Homo-oligomer: A and B are copies of this chain.
Amino acid sequence: MVKTSTLQDVARVAKVSTATVSRTLSNPDVVSESTRRRVSEAVKVTGYRINRAARNLRTQRAHSVLVLLPDLTNPFFSTILEGISRHLSQQGYSMLIASTEQVHASGERLIDYLDDARADGMIVLDGGLDPDVVEMLENAPQAKRILFACEWVDGATFASVRCQNRQGTRAAVNHLFDLGHRNIAHVTGPVGNVLMQARKDAFVDETKKLGLILRPEWLIAGDFSLAAGCLAAQAWIAMHNRPTAVFCASDQLAMGFISELSRHDFKVPKDVSVMGFDDIDLAEQFIPPLTSVRQDRLLIGETAAKMLMARVKTPGDDQLEHAAVIPVSLVTRESTAAPK
């Protein structure tokens, strides 16, 4: 370990007590103008840097937050992380990252991160946690410092940040309807996923409300991935009476779908309109550019961080915001058009 100077060193140089130095740095108003100057000078001279381990021990705060992802390799999360990190670093907090899988594999329990003073709070981006893990988290005394973002757990009482999945789906269906489509299929997300369920339910409701026919086979089971999109396309191709439009529960699905279609010489949107959900970066550059439902991932991240910080900082049960909903918007591009 490299020796850096401590509060003691600064105190010696400034000819004050360590208490005064500490106060000068964390609460300058309570010290006099003259000592404030002397201390600042001494800090500069000694090159003092606070030792966070020491502060963390004394204040019983880790000054960092754990972000839990289902899977680090999923690019969907990167912008959300950016949003989280932006707010945290502004507050002097650090961002720890871990994946559900790895925590599990290492034999640790999730709650340990909070118990052993590694993190003050937790932002969970994974709605698919094991039910017993969820139960443990819910019953933990630190449950208030756990927040779900994007995904959530049905029936659980954690604070959360969510997107308007229902409204987004409604906008998507109406967009297709307005273009003239009457036979619309839906490629869903993975079984058991809350987003998949929310979007699927909204899709069923909205098609019903518009008086559209919805054949059972038009609800094609997928899992948000490119590969599932390809399979869904094969299912679509095999249909006798092909729907003229397909609403996919994610952009990746939509891309896989279109990709597979083009291998079979179908054209989008000429032969079928396809749209996604998320508006990932690539959507705009895809061929054809993808019509999608945009989620402001930066805002999701920032909101999540902000809400969590409020919880971490107020020990009491004050009037804390418990659920934030982030608006979505329809982005119309070239993968959707009127049916022929």
Contact = CB atoms under 8 A, between A and B. Distances in A.
A39 to B, nearest CB: 18
Contact of A52 (B2, B103, B117): B117
A30 interface: no
Interface in A58-80: 60-62, 64, 71-75, 77-79
B72 A98 contact: no
A133 to B, nearest CB: 17
25 contacts: A2-B114, A4-B116, A49-B115, A50-B116, A51-B117, A52-B62, A52-B117, A53-B57, A53-B62, A71-B82, A72-B79, A72-B81, A72-B85, A75-B78, A85-B98, A85-B102, A89-B98, A89-B105, A95-B97, A96-B96, A96-B97, A97-B97, A226-B282, A226-B285, A258-B287
Interface of A: 1-2, 4, 49-54, 56-57, 60-62, 64, 71-75, 77-79, 81-82, 85-86, 89-90, 94-99, 102-103, 105-106, 108, 112, 114-118, 141-142, 226-227, 230, 255-256, 258-259, 262-263, 281-282, 285-287
Contacts of A75: 75, 78, 281
Nearest to A108: B89
A263 B284 CA distance: 13
Nearest to A81: B72
A106 B90 contact: yes
B106 A85 contact: no
A142 B3 CA distance: 10
- How many copies make up the complex? 2
Contacts of A85: 72, 97-99, 102
Given A57-B53, A94-B118, A226-B285, A74 B64 contact: no
Contacts of A81: 72, 97
B90 A4 contact: no
A223 to B, nearest CB: 14
